[in-house]
Structure 1
Amino acid sequence: MSFTGKFELVSSDNFDEYLKACGVGMAKRALAATAKPTIEISEAGGLFTMKTSSTFKNTEIKFKLGEEFDEETADGRQAKSTMTADGNKLIHSQKIGDDSSVTVREFSGDSLKASFTAKGVTGTRVYKKV
């Protein structure tokens, strides 16, 4: 399964509640609600790069499947993260202090559905390949 490509956000559901469960403040949640990010995923020699771009913030992470890496989240929190693959899903586990969250990115045709879960709250974002 190829996880590479460029994807633009087309819909978002319950994302603010997910961010609230993560402890993200109101001002940053308001910015996130208006952002329409683009995600670009590339891979070379087993090293993946995921760039997320919006008018408010750009982030980039580099990872190898199954290997823990340090990550700074878009809202500035420091995480220990791991990416794994399961069929057409890329599973992103983050540990931030005593808290954890999981993002499952499911690739299907020309779409990417990302389900974000923390403290029992799930938000969903759907992206279209460009």
Structure 2
Amino acid sequence: MAFAGKYEFEGDENYDEFVKAIGLPSDKADMGRNCKIVTEVVQNGNDFTWTQHFPGGRTTTNTFTIGKEADMETMGAKKFKATVKMEDGKIVADFPNYRHTAEISGGKLVEISTASGVVYKRTSKRIA
């Protein structure tokens, strides 16, 4: 599945419950609430560069190859190692305290993170 493109935050569900479930500090949780994140995905076969641009100039970039261990960073800026997989056309990564999936559905980037039974869903529309 082709993920390459630039996507702008459109909406989310269960943000507050999710950040509480993963123990994100309230200052970081406040910064992320209704944040107009722009996600840029560069894909070359199984190689990905996944960059999130936050208002104010902060950027987080994860570079990975499907099926190979990579250095990653969480939404709370914690570093960890993960092997990103492709399952049924979805990118799947197990972060330290949540599972993250991403897929293209209806031309939109749909990301779902699950922690302690709480499901957080973020939808972004393609802008380029």
Normalising by structure 2, report the TM-score. Answer: 0.89
Deviation (angstroms), 1:73:
1.8
Equivalent of 1:120, from 111, 117, 121? 117
In the other structure, the counterpart of 2:62 is 61
In the other structure, the counterpart of 1:50 is 50
Superposition map of 1:43-122 within 5 A: 43-44=43-44, 46-56=46-56, 57-95=58-96, 100-122=97-119
1:6 aligns with 2:6: yes
In the other structure, the counterpart of 1:36 is 36
Normalising by structure 1, report the TM-score. Answer: 0.87
Q: Which amino acid aligns with 1:128?
A: K
Structure 1 gaps, min length 5: none
Structure 2 distance, partners of 1:112, 1:46, is 18
1:18 aligns with 2:15: no
Q: Is the 8 A contact 1:88 1:108 kept in 2?
A: no
Aligned length: 126
Structure 2 distance, partners of 1:45, 1:90, is 13
Q: Is the 8 A contact 1:43 1:49 kept in 2?
A: yes
Q: Which amino acid aligns with 1:32?
A: G
Residues 8-58 of structure 1, C-alpha deviations (whole Å, 9 max, x = no match): 110011112111111101111010004110111112363210000011431
Q: CA RMSD in A?
A: 1.5
Deviation (angstroms), 1:122:
1.0
Residues 63-112 of structure 1, C-alpha deviations (whole Å, 9 max, x = no match): 000112122223222222221112331112113xxxx3111112123111
Question: SS of 2:98's equivalent?
Answer: strand
Question: SS of 1:117's equivalent?
Answer: strand
- Structure 1 residue ranges, 4+ long, deviating more than 3 angstroms after superposition: none
Question: SS of 1:90's equivalent?
Answer: strand
